[in-house]
Structure formats: structure tokens, C-alpha cells
Amino acid sequence: METYDVAVIGGGVAGLQAAFRAVARDRTVALVEKEVLGGTCLTRGCIPTKAMVRSAEVAHLARRAEEFGIDIEGEIEADMNRVVDRKDRIVEDVVDVNRHEVAETDAVDLYEGTATFEDPHTLRVDGDAIGADQIILATGARPFVPDWPGVDEVDPLTSRELLDLDEVPDELIVVGGGYIGLECAQILGRLGSDVTVVQRSVILKQEDQQLIDLLRERLEAEGIELREGTGVERLEAKGDRVLVHGADEDNEPVTITGDELLVAVGREPVDGDLNLDQAGVETWGPGWIETDDQLGTTQENIWAVGDCIGEQMFTHVARYEVEVAIRNALEDGEEAVDYFAAPYAVFTDPQLGRVGMTLEEAEDAGYDAMEAEWTFEHLGKALCLGETDGMMKAVADRETGQLLGFHCLAHEGAELVHEAIVVMNDRGTVEELSDAIHIHPTMAEGVNDTAYTAAIRLGRREW
């Protein structure tokens, strides 16, 4: 049996980072991956979808060319094979880099197969026995498809299969109005599909709804039909058509038809054949790995990071969790995770970048909070770009001025939110954000203006 200081199960972004961080601390590492290095983010999620978002953006901008004084003759059409080929080339480049880095790191041995626990310190990977002092679980998550009547008959797409379509569906039904569903809906809509989104409640219900109202207007203006308040009851295949049967908010029956069905209603854990009981690792809910605030599991030498713990399922959060878990596992640390300034984005157009709380969440958390907003109608760079849709909001504590949240629905909103992340990470105030000099003309001036508006309303700055 080969023995190591650390075994990492899962070769996605979190698992790769855990392996390299352990090596940097002079540990030997066994890295186990049953599919492709890079995991969901690099091969089936973040990177490939953003490659396709870009193709869709180009198609959309080309249709707007006349606004900018540019004439383009003929219809703007997507060649789906070339769109997918471009995406595949990007993914292949990323995977090749990861594989090269692992191969060049002498202290890491890659095991390509499925890991199974025999005891808290022993794994078996397709016949190979591996021993390790510390074990880090980074097994990720996968798209969840509910067991609706008719689901086997229809065989719906998930975000994974959507990435490999060889043609644009004439009519696409998307069940799920979260960030994955809306991103995919806009991609296919811009590439030529007639898209209907079916959502049981409202789209992006956890977000500031004033911003979501603006996003809703934009999506509908692009021809995406939003069937909010509609629940799915059963699916049916009828010839080459897909039928989604359900009920609307008044409990009236509805049937929606299309050529393809995409299900984007959430994710579920991937535990495979881990045999967690043998390791003494407990789970919660549908199988998420139970951790404490230091990312330790119920077995003292086993840690878990990333999507598999069922918390904030974002790659950048997983990378942060790796840093905490490695320090605790290998340096006898007692560091607790802190998600106060953990951001995320929805890569629709306009993008929604967010860090921290909404006003309602801040009040529920016991803060005497206020909010200030800023729009882009008169911002010079937004006018030049033709990208004036959206709004920014700052949420702050009335007494101290501490920045509690920042929400940015804007062109490149995911980029614009980052300086608010830095301020919140240091528990800073709105005036720290408002007093910083911003380059003119930029979209980032809107961040400055939003924070300055909040500081004025709090009486911490004057016009």
C-alpha cells in the first residue's frame, strides 16, 4: 500500500488547489479523479458556459450594429458546431495545463479512478490501496433532475449536455429560473432559440427584486418568455416534441411545448461509491458532507471543501475554503470560515454581481440598515457603450456606515463589484469606497457614485 501525507478526492479546482497547497507545505499527495482534471467548473460549468456566453454576446452585439453606425447585411446566424468547437478548444487548453502541472509535480501522484473508503485513513482506488494521514474531500456536485412522471420518456438536457448541442433548438423550454437556467436561456435565445423559462416562484428570488425587475424587463425584451409562478407536474414526449404539464399561480393547468427541455433546478452531491460510513463521515440532507465551521467532518482527519458540503457552490468560494482547510489540517489551525464578503455573479447580460446582504437580509440579521441606489442613464461610459440598463445598490449600517452589501446589475457587473468586496473584507465603510478616486470615463465610476450617495444619505459626506 502506498502511503501519503494527504489524499485529495476530486480533481476539480478545489481538489487541485488542495493538492498544490499541501505540496507547498512539503507534503506528499495522492490526488484521485474519476473523470477529467478540472472538474465541473473548468470542463462542464464556469469556463465552457462563459465561452458560449461570449459567442451569444457577439451575436447580440452584431444585431445591434446599426445603433453604432455599422451596417451588416443579412441575418445574424449561429453555427452551433463552431460555437461548440471554440468552447472545446478553450476547455482542452485548460485541462492540458492542469494535467501538465500535476505531471510536473513530483510530490503528487494522480490516481484516475473511483475512491472508496476502507477506514478513516485508507482508500481503495480501482484495486490500489492508498493510506493517508489527512484526507480532503472535494467531490463536487452535479445537476439535479427531479423524478417527475415522464422524465425518463423525455430524457431532458442538463447544463452539461447543453454544452454539446450540435444545432440550435427552434423552441427551448428551461425549467428553473436560477442563475444556471437564466444564463443558459439567454445564451440559446441569442443564438436563435425561442426560449420559455418555467419557474415555480419568481426568478432569482434570493436577489434584490428591484434589480431583478430590471433584468426581467431585459430578458423579456430579448424575446424570452418567463412563466413565473408555474410548477411542473409531469413531462411528456409526443413525437419529436416535449410537453411540460403543470399549474400556474392560480392552480390552473398549463402545457408548454418545445423541441428540447433543459432542467436547471439545482444540484445534488456526488458521493459515488465513497462508502463514507466506513470513514465515520456523516452527511446531511440529500448527502451533503457535514462539516463544522473549520471545514472538519465528523472524522477528525477528514476535511471537506467546495460544492460537496452544500453551502455556497461557487469555485471562488471553494478556493477560499481550501485555504482554510489546509491551514487547519496541516498547521493545526483553528480558523473558521467567514462568508461575510463571499461574492458571486449571475452571468446574464446585464450581469448581476453581488457581495453581502440585501437590505431585507441585513434587517433580519439585526442591523439598522439603509440602502442607496444609482443608475446608468447619465453615466458617460455607459452611454458610449450603449449599456445603460441596470442599477447599483449599496447596503450600509446607519450608525457606523459599514458596508453590508453591494449589488450591481450592469454591463460587466461581475467585474465592477470587486472593489466593494475588498472594502467589505476589511469591514470597511461606504465612505472608504466613495472617497477612492475612480478613472473617468469608466463603468466603475458608478460604484463610486453609489457609495457616495449612501454616504450622503447617512450624513457622513456632503454634496
C-alpha grid cell for residue 259?
423541441
Paired sense of beta strands 108-112 and 29-33, if any: parallel
Paired sense of beta strands 241-247 and 231-238, if any: antiparallel
Buried b (16+ CB within 10 A) or exposed e, 413-425: bbebbbbbbebbe
The alpha helices in 155-241, defined as continuous H runs, are 159-162, 179-191, 209-221
- Which of 134, 116, 117 has the alpha carbon at shortest distance from 304? 134
**Contact present, 141 and 270 (Cβ < 8 Å):** yes
Spot the catalytic one: 407, 411, 438, 440.
440
User: Coil, strand or helix: which one is 7?
Assistant: strand
- Which of 423, 426, 434 has the alpha carbon at shortest distance from 460? 434
**Contact present, 433 and 458 (Cβ < 8 Å):** no
Question: Which residues, including other chains, have CB under 8 Å from residue 459's CB and lie 6 or more apart?
Answer: none
- Within 13 A of 47's CA, how many CA atoms are on the CB side? 20
Separation CA 424–CA 404 (nearest Å): 7
Dihedral, 108, 112, 113, 116 alpha carbons, nearest 10: 0
Separation CA 99–CA 294 (nearest Å): 30
- Has 411 been annotated as catalytic? no
**Contact present, 129 and 122 (Cβ < 8 Å):** yes
Q: What Å distances lie between residue 110 and 33, 102, 113, CA to CA? A: 8, 7, 9
**Contact present, 29 and 19 (Cβ < 8 Å):** yes
Separation CA 147–CA 235 (nearest Å): 10
- Cα 142 → chain centroid: 13
Active site positions, annotated:
440
